Amino acid sequence: MPKASVAVPEILDKLESFYGHQEPCWPTDPYLFLVWWHCGYPASDAACAKGWEALSSQVGTSPQQLLETPIPKMAKALKPGGMVPELRAMRLKEIASRIENEFAGDLSAALTGPLKDIRKTLKKFPNIADPGADRIMLFADIAPIAAVPSNCVHVLVRILHGKERENYGVTYREAQQAIEAETPATFLARKRAYLLLKRHGQELCKRTNPKCGMCPVNSLCAYFAGHLRGGTKTSSQRSAG
Ligand code: SF4
């Protein structure tokens, strides 16, 4: 892996100057995040927000409300969030049932103790893997983990090393290590890094066809400079000069 000479704080400062201060657009309470996460499919901020809005107004989001509501009614409410609303309704029932039966209605109260145990608890919920557990722990102020947005793991790795890896887990870990090494281990700093990288991955540094010509960090980016791992410049790089 080529050694990166660019500092993560400089990248984040430039992204913040360009995009402004970022705030999470999802509920940061662990239980409510699990509900929100199932409000859209494929899960994106926009899809989850649409499903969340409809679910909140037509059903509600408490475990009791989810358990009392028949699947067809809940699926209808979840439809604005995208595909497989029936399956998502069943998942929400499963989550609500576990919150009531295993956690006495209070998931947050159970998320204490060693981080490995908290992670294990979170990963038992549907569709929560390590990136989701990291995100929940960071934004719920459980631990200042260097979480990386799960659909934007490529952003920092491209800038620092030229190209993301074929293996998602390796790319995630590389991005996480860079944040860990170069940002303070505080909730403020780690949330800021997460939100700025997420915004950049959604707006310009998309997984395919990144808009390098408009990018505020292209002067720092190894990918843009053409330092690819055995690849060539993308069409957007060529058109951007
Ligand atoms: S220059 Fe291109 S690859 Fe590099 S961060 Fe910007 S958009 Fe992403």
Determine which residue's CA is closest to atom 2 belonging to ligand 1. Answer: 212
- The closest-lying atom of ligand 1 relative to the alpha carbon of residue 236 is 2
Residue type, 45: D
Kindly list the protein residues whose Cβ atom lies closer than 6 A to any atom of ligand 1: 158-159, 204-205, 210-212, 215, 217-218, 221, 223-224
Helix, strand, or coil (residue 82): strand
Q: Which of 155, 163, 197, 199 has the most ligand 1 atoms within 8 A of CB, as the residue to mutate?
A: 155
Rounded to whole angstroms, the Cα distance separating 152 from 202 reads 8
Six-digit token pair at 180? 């860990």
Contact call for residues 144 and 190 (beta carbons, < 8 A) = yes
Intra-chain end-to-end CA distance of the chain, in Å: 25
Q: How far is the CA of 107 from the centre of ligand 1 (A)?
A: 39
Task: Give pLDDT tens digits along the chain (241 positions).
Answer: 445 567 999 999 999 999 999 999 999 999 999 999 999 999 899 999 999 999 999 999 999 999 999 999 999 999 999 999 999 999 999 999 999 999 999 999 999 999 999 999 999 999 999 999 999 999 999 999 999 999 999 999 999 999 888 899 999 999 999 999 999 999 999 999 999 999 999 999 999 999 999 999 999 999 999 854 444 444 334 333 2
Question: What is the model's pLDDT at position 227?
Answer: 55
pLDDT in tens, 113-169: 999 999 999 999 999 999 999 999 999 999 999 999 999 999 999 999 998 888 999
Determine which residue's CA is closest to atom 4 belonging to ligand 1. Answer: 221
Q: What are phi and psi of 212, to 5 degrees?
A: -65, -30
Question: What is the model's pLDDT at position 238?
Answer: 33
Sign of CA dihedral 53, 59, 65, 67: negative
Question: What is the model's pLDDT at position 165?
Answer: 85
3-state secondary structure 169-222: HHHHHHHHHHHHHHCCCCHHHHHHHHHHHHHHHHHCCCCCCCCHHHCCCHHHCC
Return the H-helix or E-strand segment holding 36.
Answer: helix 30-37
Question: What is the model's pLDDT at position 4?
Answer: 56
Rounded to whole angstroms, the Cα distance separating 81 from 61 reads 15
pTM given for the model: 0.90
What is the total residue count of the chain? 241
CB-based burial, 193-210: b 16+ in 10 Å, e otherwise: bbbbbbbbbbebbbeeeb
Question: What is the model's pLDDT at position 166?
Answer: 84
Question: What is the model's pLDDT at position 163?
Answer: 84
Q: How far is the CA of 225 from the centre of ligand 1 (A)?
A: 9
Rounded to whole angstroms, the Cα distance separating 54 from 104 reads 26
Question: What is the model's pLDDT at position 82?
Answer: 97
